Structure formats: C-alpha cells, structure tokens
Amino acid sequence: MGKYVLRRLLHGLISVICVVVLVMFLIYSLMNREKIFASDSAYTKQNNNSKVTYQYQKWEEYGYLDYVPYSEYLDGLVSSGALDSQTRDAVASIGRTPDKDSEATAQYVQQFTEFYESQGYTVDRLDAITSRSGKLVSGGQQTLFAHRDFPLLRRAWNYFVDMFFIDSVNYVPEETDIGERGITFTWYDPVYGGEKFSPAIIGNGTYHRYLLYFDDQFPYIHQNLLTIRLGTSYSVNRGVDVFQTMTQSQGAYVLSTLTFPTGLTEESADDLHTATYMSGSRDMNTLNRQRFTDDYTNVETFKTGMSKMGYSFVIGIISTIMAYVLGLPVGLAMALRKNKLLDKLGTIYIVFIIAVPSLAYIFLFKAIGGSVFGLPTMFSTDSASKLMYVLPIVSLALPSVASLMKWMRRYMIDQMNSDYVKFARSGGLSEGEIFSKHIMKNAIIPIVQGIPASILFALTGAIITERVYVVPGVGNQLTDAINKYDNGVIVGVTLFYAVLSVVSLILGDVLMATVDPRISFSTKDR
Amino acid sequence: MEKIDLSALGMSEEELFSHVDHSKAESEKITAPRYSYWHSVFRVFFHNKVNIVVLALLGIVLLLAYVYPAFVDFDRYANVMDGTAKHLSPAAAMKAYGVNIHTILGLGGNGESTWDSIWFGSRISISLAFVCAAINMTVGVLVGAIWGFSKRVDMFMTEVYNIIGNVPYILIISVMIMLFTSSFWTMVFALTITGWLFIAYFIRTQVIIIRDREYNLASKCLGTSTIKIAMKNILPFMTSVIVTQLATEIPSYISYEVFLAYIGMGMGEMSLGRLIYAAEGAMVTPGWEFEFWSPVAIASIITVVLYVVGQNLGDASDPRTHM
C-alpha cells in the first residue's frame, strides 16, 4: 500500500509539472501580449520610441521577457568595477543615429551588442525621431536595449526552484552592514517585552526576523524558515505572493498597545513577528526610524476577519457536511420507497438542480432568502452576525445534496437487486439486517471515495456563490487574475488546484481501500 | 361452440383449405414476435404521457427560438434615444405601447422588447449547445471507443487526461477568447477543444466494462472480427448510455454559457447568458425585475425540457425497457 501511494504521488507530481508547463505555454506563448495594454491609460499617452520601451518594461514586469536597456548594462559594469562612473557618464548618451556616436560610446555599444547577442538576446536600436526643424518629437528619444523571451522550460525550472524558499543568514547581500549575522534562540520573546516566557528563534541577516515563535493565533506555533511561494502577483495585488494573498487575514485593523524595538509605545495593529527585511527602508521613512532599530520593518497587520481561504473553507466545509448529512439519508429513503411520493419529489429536485443553470437557482435562493426569511444577502467582514453565512452555505450545499441523493439512490437500488441480497433473504436474515449489514456497506463504498475531494475542494471556494453574496473568498482569484493578465497568480492558482486534485484522488482511493477490504492496490496481494 | 359461417369470410375454398408441405428449412426458423429497435424506442417513449407534454413544450421553445425571430424585425437599439421607453414593467409597457406580444414582458434598458431579446438570445444559446454537443459527442464517442479498446492507447490517453483535466477549464476558454475575438465560433472552439476529452473518458470506462464480458469473449473465440464486435455487440449496449450522456451535455452547455457570461468571459452576441449578465443590476431594482428574471426563467425552462426529453429518450433506448 505504501509503495503504491508513493508511486501514485510521483506520478501525480509529474502530471502537476506538466500542467504548470502547459499553463505557462498557454499564457506566455499563446496569449497575445499586446492585450495587457488594452485598458492601460499610461500606455495610450506614450508616443513613438518611448511607447516601445514602455511596452518592454511592462512585459518584463509581467514576466514575459528579460529586458536590458543600455544604461542598465553600464550600471552593471560600474558596480562590478569594470567601469568608473566618469566614463559611464561619458558613454551613456548615445547619438541620434549610430554614425553620430562618439568613438568611446561606439565601442561600448559594440560591446553591449556583442555581449547580449552571444546570449541569445535581440538587440534593438531605435533612432531618434525628429520633426522637420530638427527637434525631437514627443517620446522620440533614441534608445538602445536588449530583450529576450524566457524559454519555456527554463521558466518552469526557475519557478519550481524558487517555490520553496529556505531562509538563511546570507539572504541580505554580503556588502550590507547589518551587524553580526546569525541565528539566536531566546526563551523570552522581545515582542512581549522580554519578560514573558515565550521561546523564539530570531535571525539576523535572514529575510524574516522571527524564524520560529509562539503567539495566540491558531496554530499558536509559527515558522518562517520555509516559505512556499506560488507566484508573485503583478496587477491584482502588487508584489504579494499568491499563497500569502490566500492566507492573509482581511477586514478592519485590530489595534493594541505595542512596544516597538526602539522602545516607542503606540496603539498599532502591526504584527512584529512577521517583520521582513527591506533594504534601506528605515532611512527612507521617518515613521520607520521612530519605530525600528534596523531594516526589518516590513510587517503584516492584525485584522478582524479571516483570510480569503478561511472564509471559503468555512463556507465550503459546512456546506459539505450539510450535503452529506442531508443527501445520504434522503437518497437512502428514496431508494427504499422507490416510485413512491418521496422518490418522485426527490427526482424532481435532482432534475431541477442538474438541468437549471446554477446561476439561476443561486439567484432564486438569494431572492427567497432575502425577502421571505429576511436573511442578509451581502457578506461583510465587519459584521459579527453569523446569519450572513447562511445563504452562501445553503446555495453551495444545494447542488452537492442533489448529486449525493442521485448517486446514493442509484447505488442502493443496484445493490438491492443483486443476487447476494436474494441469497441473504433466502437464508432467513431479517430485512433490517440485510439492509444495514449488506446493502449499506456495499452502496457506501463509491460514495466514500469522493469525501476527500469534497473536503479539499472546499479550500478553492466557489466562483458564482462568492460573487453573488460578495464573499471575500478565494473562488474568484483565478478569474480576476485572468481578467487582469496577472500571469504569476494564474500559474500559482493552477498549481494549487492541480496539487489538490492529485492529493484528493489518492486519498479517495486509500480511503476506499480501507473501507472495502476487497480492494487492494498492491499487485503482490492478488 | 359457436359456428362460423365460412362463406361470410369471403375467402375461396382454396384459401381456406390448402395443403401445406412439410419443409425442413421452414421448421428451422425461430418464430419470435417481430422486433424493430427504433419502433420499440418510440413506443416506450410515447407510452409515458409526461413525455408528450414535455416534447410539445420543447417544440414550442424551438419554434419561438428559431421561427419567431424570422418574422420579427428586432433592433436592440431602435428605441435607445427614447428616454421614456427604458426599463418599463409589463403593465407600463402595455399602457404605453398597447397590448401585443412585444410588450408582454416589458421593455429593457435600451427600450428593447424583453420578449424579443429573450428569443433572439435563446437562438444563440441553443445553437451553441447543439453545435458543441454534436462536435464533442462525435469526437468523444469515437476516441472513447478506441481508448477503451486498445490498451496501448489507454496508457497514453490516461496520462493526457490527467494533465489536461487538471488545467482549469476557465483558463483554456479565456485564452482562446483572447486569442481570437469573442464570437460564436470562438466560443464553440473554446468549449470543444478539450471538452471531448471528458466525454471520451466516460465512454472509455463504459467500453471497458462491456468489452470483457463473457459474451464478447465467446464471440471473439468464435472468430468474430473486432469491428463486428464493436458494431454489433457493444454499440447497442452503448446507445442508451450515449443518449443519456447527450441529455446531460446539451443543457450543460447552456448553463456553462450563462456561467461564463456572468463572470465576464462570454461571447459578444447577446445570448441568454449575456442578457442575464447585463440585467444583473435590474434584479434588485423595483419595477425592473422582469428584465432579469425572464431570461433566467427561459434558460431554466429550456434546460429542464431538454434534460427531461433526453433522459427519457435515454431510458427508452435501453432495450431492457422494451419487454
């Protein structure tokens, strides 16, 4: 069994990788990249050459290609010591056309071209666009740059390598002076004033300040040593990782009296445990200077609401439980009273749910729930009322109830007509015994297989339900990302879905094998 | 015992009494009542009175969606300049423009007749569903049959299924819509490019279940060719499965189109989904409700009718119900 699961996991891992490569191909190679400018007002204001460079800058930010302007190349030479800044200034400005370059400039332009062309880049030089009087037109500045599309496999490789981020003391660049690098362990967490007993591991030189700490939030012990990065958002939630977007709490700030590292005591919602390194952030900001003693200033905040995934999961899991609690007994009862009133009513319900567009019945329930029962039809993170959960949960449970009813009835009827039931009856077993010990046990097996999937997929949220009731969940993340060409998020969310689906299928098979001893996955047992 | 007047039957002596030879060939024939498959299918189907009602309803829907628009000159923006014609409830519309078929459901946000726009939208949605179902079912059943039969193809296709099945459907559709314009045929392309795979997988499972049954094994031992086994032994078994699958497929495309339009990825034409999407705000505005609920109701009626007809046709095409 263990071997089999391992093999399945390995197989699943390969297909997940293929899915990611395929999705990358779809969004980076197939999709028309001009479309990202369709609703970009800054783009329409650009003209001539600057429009072209603006395009390449944006494409680099969206992750399509690597874009190197000539000046960036010179800056690189300066910081590596191959060029002094006086020469840089002298050769940085290129002529309006190549033949107007000064001799030194021409030499560096030549060097730039050769260096990047040897690496497979395309080097483009756009000559100045001038009006008849010899003046530059708007955006007509001459420019020189190199660009290269990321090869698909390299992109996928980099993605998987960067996915697991292990924090180390060498995170902060070597030339930065941040005092002694190292990891220290303390029994008394300085965030709590250094007197309360609370073990913590603190790093200096690492990305996260606190690598391990305790607090009063679930699950009470937190680590930052290993972080999962699914992909950085560009347009939806700028610079924030998908995984963080999904798990970050939302809503209004929770203020508490907080003592900052400088000793400043203030009402603040900052969570000092989440401090991360941001180069030069202390010097740039007076507020940071008052609060922090070093560059570990980037903190998250405490908020009243749950995370996106939290809301989706709460709604999803309750509706799943409801669906099983309601759907299975009703399906059973329908099978027992085949062709009676209950069976017919149940069948009408099933047909209604399967055939009618889900949008239609969700709106119908919203209208009924709002007007007849007076339930809140809009979700709000500020509201403490638990009633706002009712309609989303009911709307989400409706289709699952129908499909569970349908399958339970089908499996029960199939089992009731099989030969072993007739044999058991002829053997003198009571109907109750046949029912509970034979039919039920066999009918439930295929149902059991679907349980892990329905629990895990509660994590992904529901697109329509969340949209209709304005639930701040994860359901709309993918559609939002697609609409805004947020490629990093699309890849991240797809990967998350694919992993869930692989894991839930394996768990389903394992669960089925535990319930039914006849099913065996190891070839040896047969 | 009653006496029969032979002369009243109007038959000649020869017809009534003629000598029949003993024929060896004739005695070998098996006498069974005449059985025609499709005849039985329709007999069983029309035996259920519900089906006649639902079929009539389907006929009306198709007539309104395909024939009615041919006789009506409908321009969505004909009244767009007329400020008084916007968002009228049925009562107000009838008062302003008289009681006729166009005002029966009121006027929409551009002053267009809700009744007309629903049926023009239905035509697009139903056409989309039929075209997609036809393509997906044809490709799906053919590929599924080969997939189920050949073990080598099975290995390969299962891997393909595991990968493509995990790529979000919405992503594929939106990439296709972005690649081309969001027209009717792009939508068909987007819905069929991977849609057949799921049907093929379903058919493959069914083929595998039937493929290794004893009667097929026996048939193979007697030397029946694979094609004949597929056509004569397996296909009749599959007919009801295919029809039942078709019954769930067609309404599902209408539902899916509505869903896609609602999340803003629909096609350019004013299909039912687009109508619902456009009128979403009207749901909560007093007096405008008809604009929203009419397309919702019609979409529901169309899908339910198609589903019920298909399911019952699927039941009737199962030879086991013909006894």
- CA-nearest residue to B255 within chain A is A357
Closest to B322 measured CA to CA, from B50, B47, B31:
B47
- The full DSSP string for A45-99 is H--HHHHHHHHHHHHHHTTSEEEEEHHHHHHHHHHHTSS-HHHHHHHHSPPSSGG
Q: What angle do CA A448, A454, A456 make, to 5 degrees?
A: 115
Q: How far apart are CA A92 and CA A104, in angstroms?
A: 10
List the structure tokens of B232.
């004569």
The number of C-beta contacts closer than 8 angstroms across A and B is: 109
Is the separation of the CB atoms in A319 and A397 below 8 Å? yes
What pLDDT does A525 receive? 44
What pLDDT, on a 0 to 100 scale, did the predictor assign at position A521? 66
B167 CB neighbours in chain A (<8 A) are: 19, 22-23, 26, 494, 498
Structure tokens at B211: 């493929």
Contacts of A248 (CB under 8 A, 6+ apart): A240, A300, A307, A308
Beta carbons of B276 and A483 less than 8 Å apart: no
CA–CA distance, A75 with A84 (Å, rounded to integer): 10
d(CA B145, CA A342): 38
Residue type, A320: T
The amino acid at B226: T
- The count of other CB atoms within 10 Å of the CB of residue A457 is 16
Residues in chain B: 323
**Chain A residues touching B276 at Cβ < 8 A:** 359
Q: Say whether B259 and A497 touch across the interface (CB within 8 A).
A: no
3-state secondary structure of A132: coil
Q: Respond yes or no on whether the N-terminal peptide bond of residue A219 is cis (omega within 30° of 0).
A: yes
Q: What is the pLDDT of residue A526?
A: 39
- A235, two tokens: 């347009």
**How far is CA A486 from its chain centroid?**
11
- Cα→Cα distances A50→A45, A65, A74, A141, B288, Å: 10, 18, 20, 7, 49
Q: What is the pLDDT of residue A523?
A: 54
For the sheet containing A210-214, what is the strand order?
A182-186, A200-204, A210-214, A221-223
**Is B254 close to A32, i.e. CB distance below 8 A?**
no
Question: Which tens digits make up the pLDDT trace of A409-462?
Answer: 888 888 888 888 889 989 888 888 888 888 888 888 888 888 999 999 888 888
Contact B303 A355 (CB under 8 A): yes
Q: Tell me the backbone φ, ψ of residue A298, rounded to 5 degrees.
A: -85, 100
Count of Cβ atoms closer than 10 Å to residue A500 Cβ? 17
Residue with tokens 């200096």: A204
Say if CB A469 and CB A306 are below 8 A apart.
no
Whether A497 sits inside 8 A of B175 (CB atoms) is: no
Query: CA A281, CA A275: separation in Å to the nearest integer?
Result: 12
Nearest to B171 among A494, A501, A502 (CB): A494
Residue contact A357–B172, C-beta within 8 A: no
Question: Which domains are present in chain A?
Answer: 42-150 (no CATH), 168-224+249-301 (no CATH), 308-477 (1.10.3720.10)
Contacts of A17 in chain B (CB under 8 A): none
Helix (H) or strand (E) holding B318: none
Cα dist from B83 to A160, A482, B109, B230, whole Å: 58, 37, 10, 65
Count other C-beta atoms under 10 Å from residue A35's C-beta: 11
Chain B closest-CA separation from residue A423 CA (Å) = 23
Decide if A389 contacts A375 (C-beta within 8 A): no
Q: Nearest CA of chain A to the CA of B271: how many Å?
A: 14
Hey, are the CB atoms on B296 and A359 less than 8 Å from each other?
yes
Q: Is the ipTM of this complex over 0.95?
A: no
Residues of A in contact with B178 (CB under 8 A): 31-32, 35
Nearest residue, CB atoms, A360 vs list B264, B299, B311: B299
Q: What gap in Å lies between CA B244 and CA B297, rounded to an integer?
A: 24
- What's the count of helices (H) and strands (E) in chain A, helices before strands? 21, 13
Q: Could you give the CA distance from residue B180 to residue A153 in angstroms, rounded to a whole number? A: 26
Cβ-defined contact of B304 to A351 (cutoff 8 Å): yes
- Interchain contact B178–A (C-beta under 8 A): yes
> In chain B, positions 249-268, which contact chain A (CB-CB < 8 Å)?
251, 254-255, 258-259, 262-265
Partner A contacted by B167 (CB < 8 A): yes
Q: Which residues of B touch A481 (CB under 8 A)?
A: none
Instruction: Output phi, psi for A253, to 5 deg.
Output: -70, 145
Domains of chain B by range and CATH? 37-74+89-321 (1.10.3720.10)
Q: How distant is the Cα of A314 from the closest Cα of chain B, in angstroms? A: 23
pLDDT of residue A438: 87
CB pair distance less than 8 Å for A30 and B179: yes
pTM: 0.82
Cα distance between residue A161 and residue A156, in whole Å: 9
Nearest to A89 by CA among A101, A71, A114: A71
CB contact under 8 A, A357 and B254: yes
Q: Encode chain B (323 residues) as per-residue pLDDT tens digits.
A: 566 676 677 777 777 777 777 888 777 777 777 778 888 888 888 888 888 999 999 999 999 989 888 888 777 776 766 767 677 777 777 777 777 777 777 777 777 788 888 898 899 999 999 999 999 999 999 999 888 888 888 888 888 888 888 888 888 888 887 777 778 888 899 899 889 999 999 998 888 888 878 888 899 899 988 888 888 888 777 888 888 888 888 888 988 888 888 888 878 788 888 888 888 777 777 777 788 888 888 888 888 898 888 888 888 887 777 77
Q: Is B155's Cβ below 8 Å from some Cβ in A?
A: no
Separation in Å, CA of B277 to nearest CA in chain A:
10
Identify all chain B residues contacting A19, using CB atoms and an 8 Å cutoff. 163, 166-167
Q: Which stretches of chain A drop beneath a pLDDT of 50?
A: 525-526
Which pLDDT score, from 0 to 100, does residue B1 have?
Answer: 54
Q: Which residue of A has its CA nearest to B289?
A: A367
Provide the b/e sequence for B278-307 (b: ≥16 CB within 10 Å). Answer: bbbebbeeeebbbbbbbbbbbbbbbbbbbb
- Reported as type and span, the H/E element at residue A143 is strand A143-149
Residues A215/A273, Cβ–Cβ less than 8 Å:
yes
Q: Is the dihedral of CA B257, B261, B266, B270 positive or negative?
A: positive
Distance from CA of A403 to the nearest CA of B (A): 13
Give A490's contacts in chain B (Cβ within 8 Å): 171
Long-range Cβ contact pairs of A174-183 (< 8 A, separation 24 or more): A176/A279, A178/A204, A178/A205, A178/A294, A178/A295, A179/A204, A179/A294, A180/A204, A181/A205, A183/A211
Which residues does chain B have within 8 Å of residue A487's beta carbon, measured at their own beta carbons? none
Identify the sign of the CA torsion B306, B309, B314, B315: positive
Nearest Cα to B274, choosing from B291, B289, B252? B291
Give the nearest chain B residue to A30 (CA atoms): B179
DSSP A144-190: EEEEEEPPHHHHHHHHHHHHEEEP-TT-S-TTS--SS-EEEEESB-G
Give the Cβ contact number of residue A125 at 10 Å. 15
Q: Read out DSSP for B45-94?
A: HHHSHHHHHHHHHHHHHHIIIIIHHHH----TTTTTT-GGGSSB-HHHHH
User: In sequence order, which residues have a C-beta less than 8 Å from that of residue A256 and are 6 or more positions away?
Assistant: A267, A268, A269, A302
Q: How far apart are CA B22 and CA A333, in angstroms?
A: 60
Our measurement of the distance from residue B77's CA atom to the centroid of its chain's CA atoms, rounded to an integer in Å, reads 32
B128 and B268 Cβ atoms separated by less than 8 Å: no
Closest chain A residue by Cα to residue B179: A31
Question: Minimal Cα distance from B248: which residue of A?
Answer: A355
> CA A229 to CA A232: how far, in whole Å?
8
pLDDT at A330: 94
Mutation target to probe the A interface, by most A beta carbons within 10 A, among B177, B263, B280, B311 is: B263
- Max CA distance (Å), chain A: 109
**Minimal Cβ distance to A478: which of B162, B170, B303:** B170
Q: Is the separation of the CB atoms in A124 and A145 below 8 Å?
A: yes
- How would you class A234 by CB atoms within 10 Å of its CB: exposed for 0-12, middle for 13-18, buried for 19 or more? buried
Residue B59 has which token pair?
């006929």
